[in-house]
Amino acid sequence: MSQRIEVDPIKCEAHGLCAELLPERITLDEWGYPLIDAAPIPASLAGLARRTVRACPTLALRLRDVAHERAADVGRQR
Amino acid sequence: MSLPRILLGAGADTMDYATHVRVHGELPGGARRARNGRPAPLVAELTRAMLRGRGGGAFPLAAKLEAVQRAKGRPVVVVNGTEGEPMSVKDRMLLESLPHLVLDGAYCLADLLGTGDVVIALDESMGEAHETVRRAVRERPEAGRRMGQPRIVSVPAGYVTGHETAVVNFVNRGIPRPVTQPPRVSERGIARRPTLMSNVETLAHVALIARHGAEWFRGLGPSDEPGSALVTLSGAVRAPGVYEIEYGSRLDSLVRAAGGVREPVRALLLGGYAGTWVDGVGAGALRLSSGELRPLGASLGAGIIVALPRSACPVAEVTRVAGWMSDQSAMQCGPCVNGLASIADALADLSEGRARHSAFSDIRRWSELVVGRGACAHPDGAAAFVTSALRVFAAEFEDHARHGPCDACAGRPVLITPRERSVVA
């Protein structure tokens, strides 16, 4: 099951740890909020992605199963 | 087959129940209830009618209905009459003049879902609508029965307070701000129960489809977007107000219905403050359907058209609205808070002729940067409004950036925010 990472924009407070831990998928915008590449996380990054999600101080990140998404939700997150 | 449909018999006074029944006929009872384990016939009619939500999202009602039916728990039906778009008055007009069409639709959907729980969410500033709706509820034959006791909720005024999740959040916790989805309100909404929320105009269409069927509904408009719609037309027309149009009809025929233009039109704003500007040149031939407007990046949104006269300053208008939209952020999501404020500040600098060289590219970059990054679509809409303004009014923005304010900058505002407290219709 492939997964992608997403952020709850209300919980996010721009601590920026995620971009340090997972630069392969996350960069920061000019205000410090994460820009997330929604591409599926390959197996080689899966462990790091899980650790990044756990490290968020406001628990704003989560991994989401790509196949479980409904059509209406696709493209909502960036 | 012809218009008006929704506005049939509408006048200055509230249509009482007896008149409503005389104009539209009784609401048929049978089609609304499931029988012997078979779904109510009205479900199939709504599906075939391809009725889409009229609050701006244009989401198919049948899909919403299905999602609520699929979810576990007794559903709640919510009438969304919050109408946060300052240039729209059609929902308030419906609630004040034709509340029984709205109640018909709400009670139909409640019947379909086998629930008696109906919430009517109204903007707190709609004083008269509160009164007409309360009176209409008491006039109904359902009055006294469970469903005849809908709960009327007064939602704080604001641009995003009427967002689906904000209304649910307000009813549940007293906080009129959007929340992150999923879960969708169709799965977990009011009191954590499956919630079907519909705009008041959508419900008025349901009331008519329940009487006349999908075939009748499809007798107007293109086959992929059938029916009629209410539009609030304002700006440089002689008779601004609420009009019912056939989807796919031409803009110039709507303008003719409004008495024609008072003065030359520079551009049109379609879809309100989350909408899109289109140039006035040749706009009369525009057909008002999503199929025709989509290639322009535009839509009617909640049915809003503003004709901006040549005598107005588009830079001043856009700057003022962008500032208001920035202030209307629920201040929850970083990209929205920072992005919209940055855009608004840069526009203010541009309009005063004191912007940095990079202002135009900054605004375009921020407008892309905020899209899809809020819990609701507020930043997306505000950015679309600004981006299209920079395109359509490129010359005027360039002129202000170089020379500062123009003579028209201080003119009477055309685009109203609650700050201007003026009347659209």
Confidence category of residue A77, pLDDT binned at 50, 70, 90: very low
State both tokens at B275.
């909408």
Q: Do B333 and A12 touch (CB under 8 A)?
A: yes
Q: Which class is B314-410 in CATH?
A: mainly alpha
- Asked whether the predicted pLDDT for residue B423 surpasses 70, the reply is no
Per the model's pLDDT, the better-predicted residue between B419 and A19 turns out to be A19
B342-381 pLDDT, tens per residue? 999 999 999 999 988 899 999 999 999 999 999 999 999 9
Return residues 346-385 of B near A (CB < 8 Å): 369, 371-375
Confidence category of residue B217, pLDDT binned at 50, 70, 90: very high
Nearest to B369 among A14, A29, A72 (CB): A29
- Asked whether the predicted pLDDT for residue B148 surpasses 80, the reply is no
CATH code linked to domain B228-309: 3.10.20.600
Q: Average of pLDDT values for B131-154?
A: 91
> Mean pLDDT across chain A, nearest whole number?
89
Residue ranges per structural domain of chain B: 17-217, 228-309, 314-410
CATH topology of domain A3-69: Alpha-Beta Plaits (3.30.70)
pLDDT reported for residue B421? 64
Question: Which residues of chain B lie closer than 8 angstroms to A76, CB-CB?
Answer: 181, 372
pLDDT reported for residue A78? 38
Q: Which class is B17-217 in CATH?
A: alpha beta
- Asked whether the predicted pLDDT for residue B420 surpasses 50, the reply is yes
Cβ-contact B291, B306 below 8 angstroms: no
Q: B183 — contact with chain A (CB < 8 Å)?
A: no
B14-60 pLDDT, tens per residue? 999 999 999 999 998 777 777 777 778 899 999 999 999 999 999 99
A47-56 pLDDT, tens per residue? 999 999 999 9
- Asked whether the predicted pLDDT for residue B405 surpasses 50, the reply is yes
Cβ-contact B303, B230 below 8 angstroms: yes
Q: A29 — contact with chain B (CB < 8 Å)?
A: yes
